[in-house]
């Protein structure tokens, strides 16, 4: 009985019902039987025996026939009865092996791809952009790089406290803004220590936190999108930022100036890259030092005249001290240098730690400005090293007298 019970269980695993399995085991054990005998030996209720016999016959596991006295049932030989089932099971096993192989290939391709994973971004409504920006700023650990238009700069002005907190954690913060926003109210709202540069090409607003988290702002409607843990996107935007940073204009020296003066300085510096003016600067930079201050106003007049034609030269009615302050800022930005007048008001000194005539264009512009104000000038290039900058520097003294 124990063996029959084990066979019954195995047949059930092949898809037979419990009654079908009992009936088949009884038939191959006892041989052909009537319905009554089969019910007795298989322990199947008599009410179920006929339906069970018919199901065995439909599955080609048994043959039934009717005699004058009763229905009899004979089992089909196991090797014949289960041939189809065996093939079906073999097909299932083959299909399972193929499925496992496919899953294995997918797993290996995924590992070779370097653990590829899908990244999603979050859209933020206009009312939620500032809180999210404040949150991401306060969570920054190493760096924040910013390209901001006027709208983005306005949002940053609302993050002053968070930017200060980030600075206390030694987070490096750099920002590129449009020329027109230099020394604007929003620009001045940035904490000291946030490095700023200006660029004509600054458009749109994109902020990258720690090289991986990116916020992009839509200036048209104030909405934004955030990509978190997106190292590939962060690296791409970082590369774009670094190129723009290297080509943009440092403006920290303008921090204390009136916005109009700061923007005029930006226009003067930008003008040096325009057509004929660029040619003239290159011509001067390659010339001999005697061309400065001793050309009867040639280079200086032409160079300053181009600024006047473009409407960006300092106003002739502006006090000389303010004009020198503007040239001092230009020297700081372009040459890390300075321009100042001595206490007696007779000499202007222009110097820079850079050499290779890097100061010549700005000295020439200053000469043109002074001549335009009615001063007689005489410029001397110091032949000995600059006391402040040593062998690497250059220094010019401009003697001024009222005509």
SS3 content of the chain, % helix, strand, coil (to 5): 50, 20, 30
Enter the DSSP assignment of 315: P
Give pTM, 2 decimals.
0.58
Q: What is the Cα–Cα distance from 244 to 247, expressed in whole angstroms?
A: 5
Share of residues in the chain with pLDDT > 90 (%): 23
Q: Are strands 213-217 and 205-209 parallel, antiparallel or unpaired?
A: antiparallel
User: Which pLDDT band holds residue 45 (cuts at 50, 70, 90)?
Assistant: very high
Asked if pLDDT for residue 138 goes beyond 90, the answer is: yes
Q: Note whether 75 and 87 are same-domain residues.
A: no
Average pLDDT over residues 228-252: 86
Q: Note whether 74 and 92 are same-domain residues.
A: no
Asked if pLDDT for residue 183 goes beyond 60, the answer is: yes
CATH number reported for the structural domain that contains residue 274 in this entry = 3.90.1520
Domain limit, last residue, from 113, 135, 153? 113
Q: Of 35-49, 141-155, 326-340, which range is least confident?
A: 326-340
- Note the pLDDT of residue 25: 92
Q: Note whether 76 and 135 are same-domain residues.
A: no
Length of the chain: 403
In the block, which residue shows the tokens 């300075």?
338
Q: Which residue segment(s) compose the domain that 73 sits in? A: 2-81
Q: What is the mean pLDDT of the chain?
A: 81
Q: What is the Cα–Cα distance from 293 to 145, expressed in whole angstroms?
A: 43
Between these two residues, 345 and 295, which has the higher pLDDT value?
Answer: 345
Q: What is the Cα–Cα distance from 251 to 41, expressed in whole angstroms?
A: 102
- Note the pLDDT of residue 382: 77
- Note the pLDDT of residue 288: 43
Query: Would you tell me how many other CB atoms lie within 10 Å of the CB of residue 20?
Result: 23
Share of residues in the chain with pLDDT > 70 (%): 82
Classify burial at 399, counting beta carbons within 10 Å of its beta carbon; exposed 0-12, middle 13-18, buried 19 or more.
middle
CATH number reported for the structural domain that contains residue 26 in this entry = 1.10.10.10
Q: Note whether 106 and 158 are same-domain residues.
A: no
Between these two residues, 235 and 334, which has the higher pLDDT value?
Answer: 235
CA proximity to 200, closest of 240, 249, 241? 249
- Note the pLDDT of residue 354: 73
Between these two residues, 191 and 121, which has the higher pLDDT value?
Answer: 191
Whole-angstrom CA distances from 166 to 29, 112, 195 are 86, 38, 14
- Note the pLDDT of residue 215: 92
Asked if pLDDT for residue 292 goes beyond 50, the answer is: no
Asked if pLDDT for residue 130 goes beyond 50, the answer is: yes
- Note the pLDDT of residue 391: 58
- Note the pLDDT of residue 274: 47
Asked if pLDDT for residue 392 goes beyond 90, the answer is: no
The total number of structural domains in the chain stands at: 4
Q: Note whether 266 and 235 are same-domain residues.
A: no
Average pLDDT over residues 112-118: 57
Buried b (16+ CB within 10 A) or exposed e, 230-261: beebbeebbeebeebbeebbebebbeebebeb
Q: What is the Cα–Cα distance from 220 to 144, expressed in whole angstroms?
A: 23
Asked if pLDDT for residue 112 goes beyond 80, the answer is: no
Contact 301, 368 (CB under 8 A): yes
- Note the pLDDT of residue 258: 84
Average pLDDT over residues 57-78: 88
Q: Note whether 51 and 99 are same-domain residues.
A: no
User: Which pLDDT band holds residue 66 (cuts at 50, 70, 90)?
Assistant: confident
Enter the DSSP assignment of 295: S
Who's near 335: CB < 8 A, 6+ residues apart? Answer: 352, 353, 354, 358, 359, 362
CA 196 to chain centre: 20
Contact 122, 149 (CB under 8 A): no
Q: Note whether 268 and 342 are same-domain residues.
A: yes
Q: Note whether 276 and 306 are same-domain residues.
A: yes
Q: Note whether 214 and 92 are same-domain residues.
A: no
Q: Of 20-24, 109-113, 226-230, which range is least confident?
A: 109-113
Q: Note whether 362 and 287 are same-domain residues.
A: yes
pLDDT digits (tens, 9 = 90+) for 73-104: 999 988 888 887 778 778 888 888 888 888 88
Q: Note whether 396 and 280 are same-domain residues.
A: yes
CATH number reported for the structural domain that contains residue 197 in this entry = 3.30.870.10
One-character DSSP codes across 213-258: EEEEE-TTTS-EEEETT-HHHHHHHHHHHHHHHHHSEE-GGGTTS-
Q: Note whether 195 and 278 are same-domain residues.
A: no
Average pLDDT over residues 38-42: 91
- Note the pLDDT of residue 75: 92
């Amino acid at each position: 009985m124990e063996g029959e019970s084990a066979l019954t269980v195995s047949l059930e695993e092949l898809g037979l019902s419990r009654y079908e399995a009992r009936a088949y085991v009884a038939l191959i054990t006892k041989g052909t039987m009537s319905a009554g005998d089969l019910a007795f030996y298989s322990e199947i209720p008599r009410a179920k025996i006929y339906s069970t016999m018919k199901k065995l016959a439909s599955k080609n596991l048994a043959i039934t026939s009717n005699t004058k006295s009763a229905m009899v049932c004979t089992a089909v030989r196991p090797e014949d009865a289960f041939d189809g089932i065996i093939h079906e099971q073999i097909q299932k096993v083959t299909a399972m092996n193929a499925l496992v192989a496919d899953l294995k290939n997918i797993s290996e391709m995924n590992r070779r791809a370097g653990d590829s994973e899908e990244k999603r971004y979050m859209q933020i409504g206009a009312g939620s952009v500032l809180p999210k920006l404040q949150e991401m700023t306060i969570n920054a650990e190493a760096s924040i790089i910013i390209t901001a238009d006027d709208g983005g700069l306005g949002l940053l002005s609302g993050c002053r406290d968070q930017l200060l907190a980030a600075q206390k954690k030694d987070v490096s913060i750099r920002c590129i803004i449009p020329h027109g926003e230099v020394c604007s109210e929003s620009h001045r709202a940035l904490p000291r220590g946030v490095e700023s540069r200006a660029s004509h090409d600054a458009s749109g607003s994109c902020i990258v936190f720690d090289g991986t988290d990116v916020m992009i702002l839509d200036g048209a409607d104030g909405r934004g999108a955030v990509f978190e843990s997106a190292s590939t996107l962060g690296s791409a935007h970082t590369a774009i930022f670094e190129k723009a940073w290297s080509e943009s204009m440092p403006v920290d020296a303008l921090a204390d100036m009136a916005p109009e003066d700061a923007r005029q300085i930006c226009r003067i510096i930008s003008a040096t890259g325009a057509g004929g003016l660029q040619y003239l600067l290159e011509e001067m930079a390659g010339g001999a030092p005697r061309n400065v201050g001793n050309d009867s106003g040639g280079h200086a007049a032409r160079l300053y005249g181009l600024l006047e034609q473009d409407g960006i030269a300092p106003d002739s009615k502006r006090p000389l001290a303010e004009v020198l302050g503007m040239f001092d800022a230009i020297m700081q930005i372009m040459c890390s240098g300075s321009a100042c007048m001595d206490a007696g008001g007779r000499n202007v000194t222009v110097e820079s730690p850079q050499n290779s005539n890097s100061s010549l264009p700005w000295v020439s512009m200053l000469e043109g400005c002074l001549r335009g104000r009615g001063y007689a000038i005489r410029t001397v290039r110091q032949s000995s090293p600059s006391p402040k900058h040593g062998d690497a520097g250059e220094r010019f003294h401009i003697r001024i007298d009222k005509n």
